[in-house]
Amino acid sequence: VFALRSNPVLMATPGRGRTLPYRIEHFIVLLCIRYSIPEEQERGAFVGNIAEDLGLNSPKLSARKCRLVSQDGKQYFGINMENGILFVNERVDREQLCGESSTCSLSFEVRIENPSETHRVEIEISDINDNPPGFPKSELALEIAEVTAPGTRFPLESAHDPDVGMNTVNNYQLSSNEHFSLKVQTRSSGNKIVELLLEKPLDREHQSTFHLMLTAFDGGSPKRSGTVEIIISVGDINDNAPVFDREVYRTDLSENAPKGTLVIKVNADDSDQGTNADLTYSFSKHASRQVRELFSLDPETGEIRVQGPLDFEKSNIYELDVQAVDHGAPTMAGHSSVLVRLTDVNDNSPEIQLTSVSSTVGEEATPGTVIAVISVTDLDSGKNGEVHCQIPRNVPFQLQKSPENNYKLVTSDRLDREKVDRYNVNILAWDSGSPPLSTNKTIEVSVSDINDNAPRFDQSSYTAYVMENNAPGDSILSVTALDPDLDQNSHVSYSILENPIQDMTSFPYVSVDSKSGNIYALRSFDYERLKHFQIQVQARDSGSPSLSSSAAVNVIILDQNDNAPAVVSPVTRNGSATVGPVPQSAPAGYLVTKVMATDADSGQNARLSYQLRKATDPSLFTVGLQSGEIRLVRNILDTDAPKESLVILIKDNGQPRFSATVTIGFSIVANVTGNDFKHSNFLKNSERFSDLNLYLIIIFGTTSFLFLLIIMMLVALKCHQDRSIGRGYDSGICCYKSMHYPGMRESGAIPDAYNYRFCLSPESAKSDFLFLKSYNSTLPQTVNYTGVGAEPYHYSICLSPESSKSEFLYLKPYTATLPYSDVSVNNTTARHEFKHSRFHINVGTFDGWKYKFRVEEEAHRCWEQRKSHRRRMANAL
C-alpha cells in the first residue's frame, strides 16, 4: 500500500461540524479515519460525517451498499445513509471496554461496493470522571503490637477508581490523630499506594483501639471521593516479624506461559519459635485486582504461579506485593515485592536465511570478524513487509546492516573460550505491521581454543602434615592444577622447583608424580631436627608455548613421642645427685630441692610429671606432680635416718610413655643458722618454676643476653670516647678491715680470729650489709679454736662500680676448704660447720651467738660516692 504525499488534517466535533482533529491518510485502496469522543454519549450522538471525510457523495452511500463491519460483531456506531453522519448506536462505557488501559479505542471497517472500497475507522474513547474511588471493604481491621517502634509502616488496601488519568485516585487523607500518619507513594505505573505510618509509641493500657477514617480523592473535576474506616487494635504478643530473604524479587516470564507455570518462589523466615514462626503467604493489600486475577500465591510454599492469560502488549511488567504473616497473636507480617518482567513472544512471518556462515571462530579473532551473512525477507509488502533485525546485547556480536535487508553478523568484542566456548546467537526479525509479526533463528558459534591460560592450582598454598619417623616413599599430599584450555593445551605435568632446605636442595626430601600431582617423602623426617619446610610445586601445560604456575607447599612435621625425659637439675652423675643438707628443725612443707627435667619432644609428649618411686622413708617426703618440688610432709623426728635417698620417676604424657629416674641423696643435720630458714623461705616463695615454661625462659634469657651485650658495647664505646669519666672511678672501691666494735671486749677491739675485710663500691646500698659475718657483744669466756682449719677466718668482698645488690648473695669463705672447726666455750666444744650453697652462706648458730655487721662513717661515705657516680654516668650516656 503506498501513501500519497498530501496528508490533509480535518476536524470533527460531534454535532458541530469539523472541529476535532483527525488525520486522513489517502491510499490507493485503504483509507484510515480517526475520531475521538468521550464515553457515555447518548444514543444518536454525532461522531463525524463519513461521506464528507471520505469525499463521497452522500446520496450514493445507500446505492453503493455502505456498511460498518467490526471484528466482535457489536454495532456501537451506526451510519445515516442519507447524509453520511456517523452516530452512537449503543452505550459506550470506556471502563467496560478497556478497563484500566491508558488508551482506549474502537475500530471497524467501512465497506462500500461498486467499486469495492474498504476504509478503516478508529474511534478513540476518552475518559470522563464518572466513577468515584472505592475501597474493597467498608472497614479495615488492623492489629498492631504495643512494642511496635515508631516509624513502622503498615500497608493499607488501596482505593480503586475504574477511571484513568487524572480521573483516577489522586490522593489520600487520614482523619486527625496523634499516633498515625499516611505515606503515599506513586508506582512506576502511576498507581498510588498508601501506608499507615506509626508516629508515636503505642500504650495498650492507655488506648487499646483506634478508629480512623481514610478518604481517597480522584483528580477529576468535580472531585469524587470514597472513604473506609480503619479499626486498629493494640496488642503485645508476637515480637518478631517475618523477614523475606530479598526485599525485591525479580524474574522474567514468557507472555505465553500456560496456566500453572511457576513464576518464582518467595521465602521468609521468622526468628520466633512454635506457631509464631509458622508463616502464611499471601498478596498484600497493595496488590491490584489485576495481579490477583493473573497470578496465584500458595499460602504454604510461597510459590507464585500463572492463573490467567498474560499479554505483553497490555503490560510487560507486573509488581506483585506479597506478605508473610506468622501465626502469633497478634500476627506480624513481613513484606516484599516481586517484579515480573514479561518477554515478548511473537509468531511472525519474516524469514531468515543464512547465505554464508562460519560455525567456528578462533578466540584470537579481532573485533569485526565476519561470522555469518544473513538475508531477511518478508512476503508481505509495505509496512507489513518492512522488517527489522536484532540480536541480544549480552553476546560479543553485532549486526551490520547492508542494502536490501542483508545483515552481517560480526564480532564486537574479544572472545574468551574459557569463559564461553559456545554461543547460541538468537537473531530476531520482526515487521512493522500492527500487530507486528516476528520470527527468530539461532546461529550456533563455537569458539576454538588457543593456549592463553596457565594451569591454576585449586589452592594458592598447601599445607601437609607428616608424622615424624615416616617411611620413605609415603604419600604426604596431592596437589591439583587445572587448565581451562582444551586438548594438549590443558594437559598438566607437575615438578618440584629447586628450593633450599637446611642448606640443601629440596630434591632429596620430596618428589612429585608428574601426572597425578602426588607428593612423596624421600626420607624419614625427624621432628627434633626439622620441624617444617617449604617447597614450590610447578604445574606446566603442553601447549606451544607452554605456560606454567607454581604453588607453595608447607610441610609440617608432627611430633612423635620418641624421646625420654632428661634431668637437667640437679646435676646428675650416673643417674644420681647429691643436694645440700636439710636442717632437722625444718618444718613441714620445707623445700628440699626441685627436680627439673626436659623432653626433646613437644606438646603433650613433652608434658612431664614427677613421682616418688622409692625413698628411705616414703612418709617423710612428697613430690609435686607438675613442679618436681621435693618437700617435707611432716617435721623431722630424731628417729629419722640422718641420710636420705629418694628415687624420682619422671614420665612424659606421650603414647607410648617414656620415663627416666634420678636418685637424690642428702643429709639431715642437727643445727643450722637462721639464714638457712630464710633460705628455705626464699626458695619456697621464689622457686616456683614450671617445666612448661622452660622454653620461654630460654628464649627470654637469650633475648636478654643479646640486649645486655648491645648495651655493654654502647657503654664501652662511650667510655672509649670519654676516658675521663671512667678514670675518675677506677678506684671507686672502698675496702676496710680491722674495724673496732664497742662492747666486743673491754678494749673495744674484735679479736684477730674475727677480723674481716670488706670492700664497698659507689654502687653499694645500705641494705647490702645486713647479712655479713657479725660479732658477739658479750663474750663471757675466751673462745679457743681447735681442729681442722682453726686459723682465723678471713673474708673478702671486691665490688666494682657496676656491682648490684644481688652480688652480695654469692659470698664464700676466703679459705679454700673449711670443712668444720671446733669452738670451745665454757669448756664445751661445738662444731661450727661452714656450708655455702648457690645463694648465700649458711652459718651455724650456737649458745646465744648472733651475727651482725655495722657500717658506720666509711660505709656512708661510699654510699654518697655511689650516688654521685651514678648521676655522672647517666649524664655521660
For residue 699, report the phi and psi dihedrals to the nearest 5 degrees.
-65, -45
Is the domain defined by 139-235 classed in CATH 2.170.140.10?
no
| Contact status, residue 266 vs residue 282, Cβ threshold 8 Å | no
User: Average pLDDT of the chain?
Assistant: 76
User: Parallel, antiparallel, or unpaired for β 397-402 and 406-411?
Assistant: antiparallel
User: pLDDT by residue (tens digit) across 318-339?
Assistant: 999 999 999 887 788 999 999 9
What is the DSSP annotation of 239-274?
----EES-SEEEEEEETTPPTT-EEEE--EE-SS-G
Q: 434 or 582: whose pLDDT is higher?
A: 582
User: Which residues, listed in sequence order, are joined to residue 183 by a DSSP beta bridge?
Assistant: 195
List of long-range contacts for 864-871, beta carbons under 8 Å, 24+ apart: 865/732, 865/734, 865/762, 866/732, 866/761, 866/762, 866/763, 866/764, 866/765, 866/801, 867/762, 868/762, 869/729, 869/732, 869/762, 869/763, 869/801, 870/762, 870/763
Q: What is the pLDDT of residue 479?
A: 94
Residue 617 vs residues 139, 592, 666: alpha-carbon distances, Å: 98, 14, 13
Exposure of 320 by Cβ count < 10 A (0-12 exposed, 13-18 middle, 19+ buried)?
A: buried
Q: Is the pLDDT of residue 26 over 80?
A: no
User: pLDDT by residue (tens digit) across 177-207?
Assistant: 999 999 988 887 777 889 999 999 988 778 8
User: Parallel, antiparallel, or unpaired for β 192-198 and 180-186?
Assistant: antiparallel
Q: What is the pLDDT of residue 345?
A: 58
Over residues 345-351, mean pLDDT:
63
Q: What is the pLDDT of residue 550?
A: 92
Per residue in 812-833, is it b (16+ CB within 10 Å) or e — as a string? ebeeeebeebebebeeeeeebb
C-alpha to C-alpha distance for 187 and 150, rounded to whole angstroms? 25
- Cell readout for 799 is 665490688
- For 52-115, strand residue ranges (E) read 67-69, 77-79, 85-88, 105-112
C-alpha to C-alpha distance for 524 and 531, rounded to whole angstroms? 12
C-alpha to C-alpha distance for 507 and 500, rounded to whole angstroms? 9
Q: Is the pLDDT of residue 780 over 50?
A: no
Q: What is the pLDDT of residue 867?
A: 65
Exposure of 500 by Cβ count < 10 A (0-12 exposed, 13-18 middle, 19+ buried)?
A: exposed
Highest mean pLDDT (candidates 226-240, 428-442, 552-566): 552-566
Q: In 3D, which of 296, 485, 450 has the Cα closest to residue 365?
A: 450
Q: Is the pLDDT of residue 29 over 90?
A: no
| Contact status, residue 565 vs residue 598, Cβ threshold 8 Å | yes
Q: Is the pLDDT of residue 381 over 90?
A: no
Q: In 3D, which of 475, 452, 456 has the Cα closest to residue 551?
A: 456
| Contact status, residue 52 vs residue 39, Cβ threshold 8 Å | no
Q: In 3D, which of 581, 591, 684 has the Cα closest to residue 641?
A: 581
Q: 525 or 780: whose pLDDT is higher?
A: 525
Q: What is the pLDDT of residue 208?
A: 83
Q: What is the pLDDT of residue 555?
A: 93
SS3 732: coil
C-alpha to C-alpha distance for 429 and 843, rounded to whole angstroms? 115
Q: What is the pLDDT of residue 486?
A: 84
Q: Which helix (H) or strand (E) holds 121?
A: strand 117-126
Q: Is the pLDDT of residue 675 over 70?
A: no
User: pLDDT by residue (tens digit) across 282-331?
Assistant: 999 888 889 999 999 999 999 999 999 987 767 889 999 999 999 887 78
Q: What is the pLDDT of residue 790?
A: 39
User: pLDDT by residue (tens digit) across 146-171?
Assistant: 788 899 999 988 888 887 878 888 88
Q: Is the pLDDT of residue 818 over 80?
A: no
Sheet containing strand 784-786, edge to edge, reads: 784-786, 821-825, 828-832
C-alpha to C-alpha distance for 70 and 49, rounded to whole angstroms? 18
Q: Provide CATH 2.60.40.60 ranges for the chain.
A: 9-126, 139-235, 243-343, 351-448, 456-558, 566-689
**CA atoms within 13 Å, Cβ hemisphere of 811:** 25
| Contact status, residue 212 vs residue 175, Cβ threshold 8 Å | yes
C-alpha to C-alpha distance for 836 and 816, rounded to whole angstroms? 12
> pTM for the complete prediction?
0.34
Q: Is the pLDDT of residue 27 over 80?
A: no
For residue 724, what are the contacts with CB-CB under 8 A and spacing of at least 6?
A: none
> In residues, how long is the chain?
877
Q: What is the pLDDT of residue 740?
A: 40
Q: In 3D, which of 732, 815, 809 has the Cα closest to residue 769?
A: 809
Q: In 3D, which of 479, 443, 446, 486 has the Cα closest to residue 464?
A: 479
Highest mean pLDDT (candidates 157-171, 342-356, 604-618, 797-811): 604-618
**Least confident range of 6-20, 107-121, 166-180, 444-458:** 6-20
Q: Which helix (H) or strand (E) holds 400?
A: strand 397-402
Q: What is the pLDDT of residue 862?
A: 58
C-alpha to C-alpha distance for 698 and 772, rounded to whole angstroms? 33
Q: How many CB atoms lie within 10 A of CB 866?
A: 21
For residue 306, report the phi and psi dihedrals to the nearest 5 degrees.
-80, 130
CATH superfamily placement of domain 243-343 = Cadherins (2.60.40.60)
| Contact status, residue 127 vs residue 94, Cβ threshold 8 Å | yes
Q: Most distant CA pair in the chain: distance in Å?
A: 175
SS3 521: strand
Q: In 3D, which of 868, 784, 779 has the Cα closest to residue 827?
A: 784
Q: Tell whether the torsion through CA atoms of 242, 245, 251 and 257 is positive or negative.
A: negative
Q: For the chain, give me the number of helices (H) and strands (E)?
A: 8, 59
SS3 705: helix
| Contact status, residue 198 vs residue 150, Cβ threshold 8 Å | yes
CATH of domain 351-448: 2.60.40.60
Straight-line distance from the first to the last Cα atom of the chain, in angstroms, rounded to the nearest whole number: 109
- Cell readout for 77 is 456506531
C-alpha to C-alpha distance for 863 and 732, rounded to whole angstroms? 11
User: pLDDT by residue (tens digit) across 595-622?
Assistant: 999 888 888 888 899 998 888 888 888 9
Q: What is the pLDDT of residue 180?
A: 92
Q: Is the pLDDT of residue 794 over 70?
A: no
* Rg of the chain over all Cα atoms, to the nearest angstrom: 54
C-alpha to C-alpha distance for 564 and 605, rounded to whole angstroms? 9
Q: 777 or 721: whose pLDDT is higher?
A: 721
| Contact status, residue 617 vs residue 642, Cβ threshold 8 Å | no
- Cell readout for 400 is 551490520
Q: Tell whether the torsion through CA atoms of 271, 276, 279 and 283 is positive or negative.
A: negative
| Contact status, residue 734 vs residue 760, Cβ threshold 8 Å | yes
SS3 329: coil
Q: How many CB atoms lie within 10 A of CB 652?
A: 23
CATH of domain 9-126: 2.60.40.60
C-alpha to C-alpha distance for 286 and 266, rounded to whole angstroms? 17
Over residues 822-847, mean pLDDT:
37
Q: What is the pLDDT of residue 861?
A: 61
C-alpha to C-alpha distance for 755 and 674, rounded to whole angstroms? 22
- Cell readout for 306 is 500463572
CATH of domain 566-689: 2.60.40.60
**Least confident range of 26-35, 119-128, 410-419:** 26-35
Q: What is the pLDDT of residue 863?
A: 55
Asked if the peptide bond before residue 201 counts as cis, ω within 30 degrees of 0, the response is: no
C-alpha to C-alpha distance for 231 and 533, rounded to whole angstroms? 75
| Contact status, residue 818 vs residue 647, Cβ threshold 8 Å | no
Q: What's the CATH class of domain 456-558?
A: mainly beta
Q: How many CB atoms lie within 10 A of CB 731?
A: 8
For residue 549, report the phi and psi dihedrals to the nearest 5 degrees.
-150, 165
